Amino acid sequence: MMKLDGLAAFVATVDETSISAASRRLGLAKSVVSERLAELERALGVTLLQRSTRRLTLTSAGESLLPRARRILRELEEAAAEVDASSGKLAGPLRISAPVGFGVLHLGPAIARFLRDHPDIEMALELDDGFVDAATGGFDAVLRHGAIGDGRLIARRLATSRRLLVASPAYLAAHGTPASLTDLERHRGVLYANRASDWRFAAGSAWSVVRPKAALRVNNGLVMRDAALAGLGLALLPTFFVHAEIRSGALVEVDIGWPAEGAELFLTYPRDHGAAPKIRALGDSLRRSFGDPPYWEVG
């Protein structure tokens, strides 16, 4: 007979790609995780993982079991969350993903405030600049900035942010300050690699697109900011990355007469999620921490 702790050990081992890492995630000794995996395989009469000195590989039986094991564990977590919510208590695991740059700059104090208010919640926060699917990625909720457009998800708006065209004073002194969309095409840009490299500006009632020459393409906003600070080129960045540098004068906002496309922060999660009360509480807490307007827009 399968045991839930065996399924939990199996899923954690697959997610973490090693028994050692799974043991750290579960807070168990490595030998305990190994034994639970072995017991699960004995109960099923199949081998789920091929073990070698370098890596673990799913067998066909393991690939078949994995999505069902995930579903069983999630349904158990959701059932527990519903019971807690019905009693007015927010408790249990909550696994969140967020972009690296925003997480480093703004999530530490905000998450600490939330967990002080709800000490029985066990949060896991993972920072990732790649696309994380809130519906299938194994997270309870994903913080994202930009359009969602996914009918499987609920998206709660947390805050707004303008995108500003910025450059260092040294870059502008050396290359001149662009004053129009046409001027921008002669400048070098620090571009975000995980989206189209176009810069979009609201020129009247339509969007105008600029495709600058790339000085650097990178998938992290903090590195983009640092490249702009170093004078590599112009960068189009949300205010939550550059508000402090603009106030200090380390970066200068470049005004070409048209506003750039803005950015909105959302907390997204699957519809009918059992952990929805915890996610809603997290969203409310983050909105209070960021403010309305958010503190990176003030002044």
Percentage of the chain modeled with pLDDT above 70: 90
Q: Based on the domain organization, do 249 and 273 belong to the same domain?
A: no
Instruction: Assess whether 225 and 253 both reside in one domain.
Output: yes
Structural domain of 43: 4-82
pLDDT of residue 112: 96
Specify whether 141 is located in the same domain as 278: yes
Examine residue 87 and state whether it is found in any structural domain, yes or no.
no
Angle (CA) 141-113-160 rounded to 5° is 55
At 212 the pLDDT is 86
- 2 pLDDT above the threshold of 80: no
The answer for residues whose C-beta is within 8 angstroms of residue 112's C-beta and 6 or more apart is none
In a domain, 91, yes or no: no
Question: Residue 3's pLDDT is what?
Answer: 79
Domain count, the chain: 3
> How much is the pLDDT for 136?
66
Same domain flag for 114 and 73? no
DSSP state of 251: S
Residue 252: its H or E element: strand 252-253
Both 140 and 177 in one domain: the answer is no
pLDDT of residue 197: 67
Instruction: Please give the sequence-ordered ranges of beta strands (E in DSSP) within 15-104, or none if there are none.
Output: 49-51, 56-58, 92-98
- Can you give the CATH number for the domain in which 172 is found? 3.40.190.10
Q: How far apart are CA 299 and CA 287, in angstroms?
A: 19
Work out the mean pLDDT of the chain and round it to a whole number. 87
Quick one: which of 73, 94, 78, 68 has its CA closest to 272?
A: 78
Provide the b/e sequence for 255-277 (b: ≥16 CB within 10 Å): ebeeebeebbbbbbbbeebbbbb
Q: Residues 186, 236: one domain?
A: yes
Q: Flag whether 158 is in a domain.
A: no
Provide the pLDDT for residue 28: 85
Residues 135 and 137: their CA atoms lie apart, in Å, by: 6
